[in-house]
Structure 1
Amino acid sequence: MAGEQKSKAKMEQAKGKAKETVGRAVGNERLEAEGRADQAKGDARQAKEKTKDVFKH
């Protein structure tokens, strides 16, 4: 389960970065903001998983 959550976090971060980059390239502020939000979600998920790992060991 933890591995699945970690990969979801990486996917969200990558998807967010791509959206942000495309949004910036085409001048679409909404897409750029969505990208930053997706990245933040991925960062939060990753931090949660790291915290879980710390308490497991």
Structure 2
Amino acid sequence: MGLDDKIGNKGQDLGGKLKEGLGKATGDKDTEAEGHKDQASSSLKDAGENVKDAFKRD
């Protein structure tokens, strides 16, 4: 996994956490859900990159 990918995924995860928190604080369920979606997307990207890395090592 490249450093750029790791940074991008972490940024997306943190942004999702911020959106989720903002949504909870303001009672905006749409923003809260969007934050959850961003975090899930980041996790899936990380998992995909980890699979790629596993095959590169063999």
- Answer whether TM exceeds 0.5 for this pair: yes
2:25 corresponding residue in structure 1 = 25
TM-aligned CA deviation for residue 26 of structure 1: 0.7
Q: Which runs of 5+ in 2 are unaligned?
A: none
1:54 corresponding residue in structure 2 = 54
Q: Deviations over 1:1-57 (max 9, x none)?
A: 722112111111100011001100110000000000100111111111111111111
Identity %: 40
2:36 matches 1:36: yes
4+ residue segments displaced more than 2 Å: none
C-alpha distance in 2 between matches for 1:3 and 1:45: 13
> How many matched pairs?
57
Matched AA of 2:34: E
Q: Which runs of 5+ in 1 are unaligned?
A: none
Decide whether the 8 Å contact of 1:6 with 1:45 is kept in 2: no
C-alpha distance in 1 between matches for 2:30 and 2:19: 10
